[in-house]
Structure 1
Amino acid sequence: MTARASVSLKIATSLDAKIALSNGTSQWITNSRSRARSHQLRAEHDAVLVGIGTVLADDPLLTARTVPLPDTQPARIVADSRLRTPDASRLVGSTSAGRVILAHAQTPQEAAYGNPAVETWAVGGQTGQVSPQELVRRARAEGLDRIFLEGGGKLAASFFSEGLVDRIYWFRAPIIIGGDGLPSIAALGLSEMGQTSRWHLAGREDIDGDSLEIWDPA
């Protein structure tokens, strides 16, 4: 098997595993100390990865804002099949802080992005979407050995489906959102219990009423 980067999935949810209200409101589910812990985890990885939906909805910066700041910021990767990341986004406007990479599924003739400071990786699969397998292989080839995957739910599901999640950092807030909330992991299309993956609780932290559970494959 071709060497690949390892993937840690970070999820921040209510007790019933929802990442937002039905209208998309998600600020803030977890408390400030949990968010600070998440920034620490970003700093411990080589790259932070999100999907284009997260970029379009939240306009995140994705830097590790620790105290003190890390010597080197993790690279920031967007799974952006059709190169829709706005040039006016905070992400693109902060390339001086560290690498910004758009992982896309366009052909060489189609692939064009206006900002030369932004890297583009052609890592498309047969479905016309970004291939998680190709993305983690390209990351390793680029010297990015540890990826911190922050969602959204569809991107997380695609990595689970390919067996590419090596650790889960699950932040839970002591609130209930209900069945109309947005799920943390999108549909996996399973039809038998034998298709599910099993996980082992490797650690747990209490964070001012929130909790952080660390899960490894069983």
Structure 2
Amino acid sequence: MGVETVLHDDPELTARLPGRTVDQPLRVVLDSRLRTPATAKLARENTLILTAAQPHAIGSAEVRRVGAEDGRPAVPDVLKALKDAGATSVLIEGGGQVAASFLRAGVVDALEWFRAPILLGGEGRPCVAALALAKLSDAPKFRRLGVEPVGDDLWERYVRL
């Protein structure tokens, strides 16, 4: 997750499934300039904050510096840091910038896409930021595996071609 989501929503980023008794997964924040407040719900143990800035303490979260690309944590360095932390798979629940950076890096294997029956238009934020495509054929391609209703929303599952 990116820091913008932390600043705007202050999420917990925890699994809250009925009957879940196993340990919570590692929560990760990509924070280029270390703007995560020490009072954020994510500024606690079992949270890894990856930054391109000089690290400093933020609550009880672990803060690590990684290489930068365009001033943001570089995806290959992020993935190495996650591997070093023991991660064997990654669920990316980020905004448009985070989504675009992992798609541009070509490391997204699958998409879990949720759509609500509302239109935000220009007032909304893009779910995927610019991908810097030179031509349409450069766009990442996915095959839809299924669609399920979830209340009024749709849950679509895709796999990369």
Same fold (TM over 0.5): yes
CA displacement at 1:91 relative to structure 2: 1.6
Q: Does 1:54 align with 2:1?
A: no
Identity of aligned residues (%): 36
Letter in 1 for 2:158: W
Unaligned runs of 5+ in 2: none
Deviations 1:45-73 (A, max 9, x none): xxxxx000000111111111110134110
Q: What does residue 55 of structure 2 align with?
A: 111
Contact kept in structure 2, 1:83 and 1:113, CA below 8 Å:
no
Letter in 2 for 1:145: T
CA displacement at 1:208 relative to structure 2: 2.0
Q: What does residue 131 of structure 1 align with?
A: 74
Name the SS for the 1:111 alignment partner: coil
Q: What does residue 197 of structure 1 align with?
A: 140
Name the SS for the 1:121 alignment partner: strand
Contact kept in structure 2, 1:132 and 1:162, CA below 8 Å:
yes
Q: Which has the higher contact order (CA 8 A, sep 6+)?
A: 1
Give the TM-score, by structure 2 length. 0.92
Contact kept in structure 2, 1:81 and 1:124, CA below 8 Å:
no
CA displacement at 1:114 relative to structure 2: 4.6
Range 164-173 or range 117-126, more displaced? 117-126
Q: Does 1:175 align with 2:156?
A: no
CA displacement at 1:173 relative to structure 2: 1.2
In structure 2, C-alpha distance between the alignment counterparts of 1:217 and 1:180, rounded to whole Å: 30
Letter in 1 for 2:24: Q
Correspondent of 1:162 among 94, 105, 119 = 105
Unaligned runs of 5+ in 1: 1-49
Post-superposition, which runs of at least 4 consecutive aligned residues in structure 1 deviate over 3 A?
Answer: none
Name the SS for the 1:146 alignment partner: coil
- Map 1:57-68 to 2 at 5 A: 57-68=8-19
Deviations 1:140-160 (A, max 9, x none): 222111111111111111111
Q: What does residue 206 of structure 1 align with?
A: 149
Q: What does residue 93 of structure 2 align with?
A: 150
Q: What does residue 25 of structure 1 align with?
A: none
Q: How many residues align?
A: 161
Letter in 2 for 1:158: S
Q: What does residue 74 of structure 1 align with?
A: 25
